[in-house]
Structure 1
Amino acid sequence: MPDTAHPAEMGLRDRKRLETRHRIAEAARTLALEQEIDHTTIEQIAARAEVSPRTFFNYFESKEDAVLGHTELDLSTEALDAHLETVAGEPAAQAVVHLAFLVFGASFGDEQERLARKEVLVRFPQLMRRQVTRMTTVAEAMTGAVRTILERDPAWGTEAATPQAAEMLLGMCMTGLRSSARHEGSDPDEVRARVVATIRDTAVRIAAD
């Protein structure tokens, strides 16, 4: 049986959390574009998203973060450790692809989301530094998790599991996921399997060179 037959899946709780996160982000972005970000309040965002202000802070630290609409779930050490246990025993490329789905959901090919975030950054350039900081935080957390995957994989081990190798594999997986979901459909199982197969084929061809 192919090792892609049992992909790591998001639980119902995480799916609901991701849906709520998207709803809050969409409300924040819409209000900011309608009435300027300085005139937008957390209370207004919560009301538009049909959640309480307290719930808002379970998902975003500030209205600026909500306007940017980061879609990844919890990046705490505890959450990443739980995700790593979910993908334990899988080959490295497959484990990294599945880890990305657990952290980000199936939002890789959401072209509308990408364009909306671009519009926000053009309209409110003061958010760019916050965006870069968040991207750096996410990259560091995910690279550390990928490095753990490589260290646990007998084909890699601790010596081969360098930060550079982790960054390279993560970059390949993320790029492949975004491209595959955007251009070839968004069924999670098909996207995962396609990206894993592409990475393996690429590695074989590189080795042959």
Structure 2
Amino acid sequence: MATTSHTPPTAPGAQPPLGLRERKKLRTRIAIRKATYRLIAEQGYDATTIEQIAEAAEVSPSTVFRYFATKEDIVLTDEYDPIMEASLRSRPADEPPLVSVRLMMVETLSSFIVTDNEELRQRTRLMVEVPAIRARMTETMSDTAKVLAQVLADRTGRGADDLKIRIFVAAVLGALREVTLYWGEQGQTGDLVAMINEALDTLEGGLLL
């Protein structure tokens, strides 16, 4: 993230401040990611190696792999899952789930645009241009799905593996994925937050012809 700070963004109901060890880990993750984006901007995705990333981030290649299993994960991983979880948990328990999720997604995305806009744009370009990143995105979104499913399960009294919970979360994250790709394919023009709202309107009201 070109403008990423050394602490994750905050949201209503956010988790307590990180301890020293967690802050050091966060700084290392961010350093690796910033180095990766810088190298990719300079020489392209395929030409950028883990060894180069490690040297630019001033860590060892084994440290890079300790934090990120693949190069694709460096591009796709961020610190927003805990923020999304905290935001969703802060919503009223009797609020319709889609309303809560909509407000959480808009809040989180708006924060991302303000604090990490350049990384968002570079990540989206890579999602569109690099098939390996698109393929890996589906796998990494499963971690976010588990987080959101657990929050909704706690709210509704259902199990996190309940079929309706899984379908709801999959539909919401699928909408987010398609909007992000569409925005990237269209040259990142248009209001991304408005597109998210439009996508969730479609989920709520169906495909009206």
Q: Identity of counterpart residues, as a percentage?
A: 11
Counterparts of 1:54-133 in structure 2, within 5 Å, are 54=60, 59-61=64-66, 65-66=70-71, 69-73=74-78, 80-81=81-82, 83-90=84-91, 91-98=100-107, 106=117, 107-110=119-122, 112-114=125-127, 117-118=130-131, 132=135
* Residue of structure 1 aligned with 2:35, choices 15, 23, 31: 23
Work out the CA distance in 1 between the residues paired with 2:202 and 2:155.
19
Matched position secondary structure for 1:21 = helix
Which AA in structure 2 matches 1:201?
D
The aligned counterpart of 1:45 is 53
The aligned counterpart of 1:199 is 199
Note if contact 1:147-1:162 (Cα within 8 Å) is conserved in structure 2: yes
Cα separation, partners in 2 of 1:101 and 1:178, compared to 1, 3 Å: farther
Counterparts of 1:5-20 in structure 2, within 5 Å, are 12-14=6-8, 18=30, 20=32
Cα separation, partners in 2 of 1:160 and 1:60, compared to 1, 3 Å: same
1:163-209 Cα deviation digits (max 9, x unpaired): 12211111112322443462315xxxxx33x1443134324432989
Cα separation, partners in 2 of 1:14 and 1:176, compared to 1, 3 Å: same
Note if contact 1:83-1:99 (Cα within 8 Å) is conserved in structure 2: yes
The aligned counterpart of 2:143 is 141
Which AA in structure 1 matches 2:53?
I
What is the count of residue pairs matched by the alignment?
169
Matched position secondary structure for 2:7 = helix
Note if contact 1:22-1:69 (Cα within 8 Å) is conserved in structure 2: no
Which AA in structure 1 matches 2:189?
H
TM-score scaled to structure 2, two decimals? 0.54
Work out the CA distance in 2 between the residues paired with 1:178 and 1:196.
12
Deviation, 1:60, is: 4.3
1:70-124 Cα deviation digits (max 9, x unpaired): 23225xxxx8445411343341222245456789955554454335534xxxxxx
RMSD: 4.6
Which AA in structure 1 matches 2:86?
E
Note if contact 1:146-1:166 (Cα within 8 Å) is conserved in structure 2: yes
Work out the CA distance in 2 between the residues paired with 1:102 and 1:63.
24
Work out the CA distance in 2 between the residues paired with 1:109 and 1:11.
17
Matched position secondary structure for 1:70 = helix
Work out the CA distance in 2 between the residues paired with 1:180 and 1:32.
20
Work out the CA distance in 1 between the residues paired with 2:138 and 2:183.
24
Note if contact 1:87-1:98 (Cα within 8 Å) is conserved in structure 2: no
Work out the CA distance in 2 between the residues paired with 1:25 and 1:135.
17
Cα separation, partners in 2 of 1:114 and 1:80, compared to 1, 3 Å: closer
Cα separation, partners in 2 of 1:147 and 1:97, compared to 1, 3 Å: farther
